[in-house]
Amino acid sequence: MAFTIVDSTLPILPEEIGYGFPGGPEYINDVVVLENRQEQRNNYSQEAFFSWDVGYPIKTEAQAYALRNFFHACRGRWRPFRMKDWEDYKSCSVELTPDFDDQSLGTATAGQSAFQLIKTYVVDDYTTTLTIYRPHGATIRIGVAGVEETSGWTIDEDTGIATRSVALSGGEAVTWGGEWYHKARFDLDKFPITPEAYGVGSMQVPVVAIP
């Protein structure tokens, strides 16, 4: 793969810390039940908010030390980082290998060269789109008009924008596949883990995704 990668400056939460933690997407809705039992529903979030508890899977002193070290480096809530949501971090299902045509980036307009990476969730007529801001650059694959391109693209790991060195003529279908991270931060300033809590699921270290 000969893509140019603009590396992110954000550190990555060590994977041996994060695997197996609970958490995931949340949407903001308002539901009012009327007297006739009909409902009035309003949605206030086009994309999901994400939160996790990375303390839950800690089972060893070594894991706790690694998390404490990372927490110190971030100074609690102050410094952001990248983290992988193990339940959803690929352009395809997590058990599959990403391919260049997993996700559509739409049809290029004449002269277009930059494309924001997205993942679309579809069930029948329902569609929700997640913007991918923190791609794992080395995993990204891109297709144009049904053919994979293995060079001539720049992947920005801090924006999720893929830029082609030569603009497209217009009308080409652009697709992508690969992995990504969330930008996140700790949601507390006091580290809560004690040795007595190892392995019993009682440690709570909340993390929230941020723009």
| DSSP secondary structure string for all residues of 16-71 | HHHTT--EEEE--EEEEE-TTS-EEEEE--SS-EEEEETTTT--SHHHHHHHHHHH
Q: Which residue has the tokens 């003529």?
A: 169
Look up residue 105 and give its two tokens.
């980036």
Q: Is 129 in contact with 47 (CB distance < 8 Å)?
A: yes
Return the pLDDT at 64. 86
Band (19; pLDDT cuts 50, 70, 90): confident
Burial class (CB in 10 A: 0-12, 13-18, 19+), 211: exposed
149 vs 160: CA distance, rounded Å: 18
Band (198; pLDDT cuts 50, 70, 90): low
pLDDT surpassing 70 at residue 55: yes
pLDDT surpassing 90 at residue 188: yes
Return the pLDDT at 203. 80
127-164 per-position pLDDT tens digit: 999 999 999 999 999 999 999 999 999 999 999 999 99
Look up residue 100 and give its two tokens.
């260049």
Give the mean pLDDT of the chain: 93
Nearest to 183 by CA among 58, 53, 11, 67: 11
Return the pLDDT at 196. 64
DSSP character at residue 196:
G
Look up residue 80 and give its two tokens.
């952001």
Band (20; pLDDT cuts 50, 70, 90): confident
Band (200; pLDDT cuts 50, 70, 90): low
pLDDT surpassing 80 at residue 3: yes
Look up residue 116 and give its two tokens.
């924001």
pLDDT surpassing 70 at residue 202: no
Percent share of the chain, pLDDT over 70: 95
Band (63; pLDDT cuts 50, 70, 90): confident
Count other C-beta atoms under 10 Å from residue 39's C-beta: 9
Over residues 69-90, mean pLDDT:
97
DSSP character at residue 108:
P
Over residues 177-181, mean pLDDT:
98
pTM given for the model:
0.91
pLDDT surpassing 90 at residue 24: yes
Higher pLDDT, 64 or 24: 24
pLDDT surpassing 80 at residue 42: yes
